Amino acid sequence: MEIALAADIRLARRDAGKTGLPEVALGVLPGTGGTQRLSRLIGKSRAIELMATGRTMSFEEAEEMGLVNQGFERDGFFENVVAYARQFLPPQRASRAVGYIKRSVCSGMEMPFSEGLALERELQQHLFKSEDAKEGLAAYVEKRTPHFKST
């Protein structure tokens, strides 16, 4: 789970086993980022409870808790994961905007709120100069689906 917690988005196959941070049963703590990432993701109280008890859970429960973004059935799992990933790419999405969203969120969480807002404004300014922003705004005005090229 610690490796998965480092990811921006977590997908899982339903009925594929259990997940958790059971290191307490070994007399140690989740020492590769688990204590920090889990608490930031689900809150301090719930994170302490899960780690202090070492309880594991199904991927379905992890999805309900917000640890898994989406679960897919065994049949067609790989195809569903690929389709999920494609929604973040051109022509459906402007990949530079997706990247800047990630940068703004990840970097912004590590700085004071006012600095996070400044970073957001700076990245938005860069995006407004892009061809994808021109395409997205034109498509909105023309009431059509945008076709992004990520230029």
How far apart are alpha carbons 93 and 103 in whole angstroms?
16
Nearest partner of 98 among 13, 12, 9, 5, judged by Cα: 9
Q: How many C-alpha atoms does 96 have within 13 Å on its Cβ side? A: 16
* Catalytic one of 23, 60, 61, 120: 23
Q: Which residue has the tokens 């790419």?
A: 89
Phi then psi for residue 146, to 5 deg, are -70, 155
Angle, alpha carbons 9-15-18 (nearest 5°): 70
Q: Is 23 marked active-site? A: yes
Contact yes or no for 104/116 (Cβ under 8 A): yes
Find the catalytic residue in 2, 60, 61, 135.
2
Catalytic machinery residues: 2, 23
